[in-house]
Amino acid sequence: MQVFDSGNVAAATSVKLARVQVVAAYPITPQTPLTEKLSQYVDSQVMDAEYVAVESEHSAMAVCIGASSAGARAFTATSSHGLLYMAEQLHWTAGARLPMVMCVVNRAVGAPFSIWNDQQDSISQRDCGWIQLYASDHQEILDTVIKAYRLSERICIPVMVCYDGYYLSHTYMPYRVPEQSAVDAFLPPYTYRHTLGPEKPTSLNTVTLPGGRTDIHGNFAPGYMELRESLDSEMKKAVAIYSEIDAEYLDIAGRGGDPIVQCYLCDDAEYVAVALGSMGRQLHDVADGLREEGIKIGVLSLAMFRPFPADILRAQLSGRKALIVFEKAFSPGQSGALRSELQAALYGEASQPELFNYILGLGGRSYSSVDFRSSIIESIQRKPGETGRCEEIGWIGLGR
């Protein structure tokens, strides 16, 4: 079925299709319409779930932790300071290996106060142990949430599905909704392997000592460090597992095939523009125009940021003349996080491309296809070796 609605409604629809059992949420712009729609679904009994209206985002994640520990499929959503307010619980959820999905409707972080879009909120939490997926349009929002539950429940690591506030959350686009029967076949009922209940009393996440220990049966029980290594090693498996899940989804929905990176005109590209989220779609038109001028430019949209798919990116980007990385977030005193990750992934390659980094759109600052085009041309015209250092950032749209 094809519908025409907002990105937030697309996200709410996917949560309903996933048969989520517990929704806990606190409103915050631009996430609010998503959780409002879910409350309507629950209130009208279109969705068989418990909706818990909490007093803060910290409490929202606490409810989801309890629900997931008890064996229920849980969901929440937030933006900006709401995500930061639940930061303690984000680490707890990942460390406890609780499967759940959260939509992060990207918005700027204060100070100064801003309700507009950039990606500083989710990027700031890239090291909290959650898988991070980025959607570039409404169809991807819907499909990614459904696939994220399969991924999270298979490897017991929580997943953020991130999408741009306003650019996607509030705009209207057509997208297709799969049949409930197809989603049920793809996403079976949730069974948590470590479900907590009165018939199975367990002490979870107790204080650990620096070293490992033996359990009551004399077997080695991992300590804190072993558990962290396990989280790291199993998160890295998510790249291959998510590709398998996407192939299954392609069979039931007819969509998919590029779950990690989405390449446009990259086959013969000498230069590649790289971005997260909705910017990638806008760059397609820019690339089309530059191709008409004889410039071999392609676009790579990254859909998975954690775990960072270094092997895939090396295969796609090694040997190019230059990469032009556009970001709506940065690490003060360093560079854009995506640019730093790419530099690390490509380090030591025999044919390492030049890297150019542009920061734009912070706090909702407007940008245009003309800005993309001029930045790409500026990068291409630089002499090899003229730049590439982390501190050399191009700022698009500064008011001076």
CATH at 157:
3.40.50.970
Residue closest to 228 by CA, chosen among 305, 165, 157, 300: 157
Domain identity same for 128 and 54: yes
What is the model's pLDDT at position 388? Answer: 47
Residue 202 lies in a domain: no
CA distance 246 to 227: 28
Name the phi and psi angles at 268, rounded to 5. Answer: -115, 15
- Taken in order 20, 26, 30, 35, is the CA torsion positive or negative? positive
What is the model's pLDDT at position 309? Answer: 97
Percent of the chain past pLDDT 90, that is, above it, reads: 84
Q: Which residue has the higher pLDDT, 79 or 212?
A: 79
For residues 193-200, average pLDDT: 76
The residue segments making up the domain with residue 49 are 2-191+238-253
Instruction: Answer yes or no: are the C-beta atoms of 73 and 149 closer than 8 Å.
Output: yes
Strands (E), 179-293: 213-214, 220-221, 261-264, 271-276
Q: pLDDT tens digits, residue range 99-152? A: 999 999 999 999 999 999 999 999 999 999 999 999 999 999 999 999 999 999
Residue closest to 377 by CA, chosen among 289, 267, 302: 289
Q: Which residue has the higher pLDDT, 382 or 241?
A: 241
- Taken in order 94, 337, 287, 350, is the CA torsion positive or negative? negative
Instruction: Answer yes or no: are the C-beta atoms of 116 and 166 closer than 8 Å.
Output: yes
Here the CATH number for the domain that contains residue 271 is 3.40.50.920
Domain identity same for 138 and 110: yes
Domain identity same for 292 and 346: yes
Domain identity same for 242 and 95: yes
SS3 323: strand
For residues 57-81, average pLDDT: 97
Percent of the chain past pLDDT 70, that is, above it, reads: 98
C-alpha Rg value of the chain to the nearest Å: 21
What is the model's pLDDT at position 206? Answer: 72
Which of 253, 279, 300 is a domain's end point?
253
Domain identity same for 243 and 363: no
Residue 201 lies in a domain: no
Token pair of 31 as six digits: 């996430």
What is the model's pLDDT at position 390? Answer: 45
Domain identity same for 29 and 170: yes
Token pair of 162 as six digits: 């991130």
Domain identity same for 317 and 279: yes
Which of 207, 226, 253 is a domain's end point?
253
Residue 187 lies in a domain: yes
CA distance 22 to 181: 21
Domain identity same for 54 and 161: yes
Looking at the 3D structure of the chain, how many domains does it have?
2
| Whether the predicted pLDDT of 41 surpasses 90 | yes
Q: How many CA atoms lie within 13 A of 114 on its CB side?
A: 20
CA distance 396 to 382: 17
Provide long-range contacts, Cβ within 8 A and 24+ apart, for 209-214.
none
Residue 149 lies in a domain: yes
Helices 32-43 and 7-17: crossing angle, nearest 10°? Answer: 40
Which pLDDT band holds residue 399 (cuts at 50, 70, 90)? confident
Residue closest to 41 by CA, chosen among 50, 32, 54: 50
Token pair of 104 as six digits: 């992060």
Domain identity same for 303 and 246: no
Residue closest to 202 by CA, chosen among 194, 193, 192: 194
Q: pLDDT tens digits, residue range 318-371? A: 999 999 999 999 999 889 999 999 999 999 888 889 999 999 999 999 999 999
Domain identity same for 331 and 297: yes
Residue 230 lies in a domain: no
Domain identity same for 249 and 273: no
CA distance 278 to 356: 20
Beta-carbon contacts of 9 under 8 Å, excluding residues fewer than 6 positions away, are: 33, 34, 37
Token pair of 160 as six digits: 């953020």
* Residue whose token pair is 């730093």: 340
What is the model's pLDDT at position 265? Answer: 97
Domain identity same for 183 and 269: no
